[in-house]
Amino acid sequence: MGNPLSTNKDYQNYVDAKSPNSPIFKNCFNAFWVGGLICAVGQLISSYCTYRGLSIEAAGSVVSIILIFLSAFLTSLNVFNKIGKFAGAGSLVPITGFANSIVSPAMEYKSEGYVMGVGAKMFTVAGPVLVYGISTSILVGIVYLIFNTQSITLV
């Protein structure tokens, strides 16, 4: 008696029949409007700060601080995770997603103590992001330096 899934094509047909269809259009739409809403909130905060007399740079810092706080606070209430399930990548606008990736492991491992739980696990997800982000920015900077330097004069 042979295996009914003996070839790759048979196996792929089996997987396709058993896998649920992903509502790609709906997922993209939800990611788009939720991400846009987060960015619009950031823009409203920035506009208010500049209206109150802050410079654009200072307003950007205030927006970052407020969005990080809101993301961390909503993560601690388990609201951000529900937003993430609904909006997918739309909730991962860089600063809010990063704050969520720091707070989530900290909340999950707080029962193991503050040092070995929260302290050790807080950067489990964010650590590789930092390492690869910084490494990539250095490589991009080097490539930019090589290709955009008109002439280098050594003194």
pLDDT at 51: 96
pLDDT at 56: 94
Task: Specify the number of domains making up the chain.
Answer: 1
**Is position 31 within any domain?**
yes
**Is position 153 within any domain?**
no
For residue 100, what are the domain limits? 23-148
Question: Tokens 């709906």 label which residue?
Answer: 26
**Is position 18 within any domain?**
no
**Is position 7 within any domain?**
no
37, with CB counted inside 10 A (0-12, 13-18, 19+), is middle
Low-confidence residues of the chain: pLDDT under 50: 1
pLDDT at 70: 93
**Is position 1 within any domain?**
no
Is pTM beyond 0.85? Reply is no
- Residue spans of alpha helices (H) in 19-125: 24-51, 56-76, 79-87, 94-108, 120-121
Closest by Cα among 78, 119, 74, 71 to 99: 71
* Spatial separation of the C-alpha atoms in residues 78 and 137, rounded to whole Å: 32
pLDDT at 134: 80
**Is position 11 within any domain?**
no
Residue 108, C-beta contacts closer than 8 angstroms, at least 6 positions apart:
121
**Is position 83 within any domain?**
yes
pLDDT at 63: 95
pLDDT at 121: 67
**Is position 8 within any domain?**
no
Q: Using alpha carbons only, give the angle 138, 91, 28 rounded to the nearest 5 degrees.
A: 100
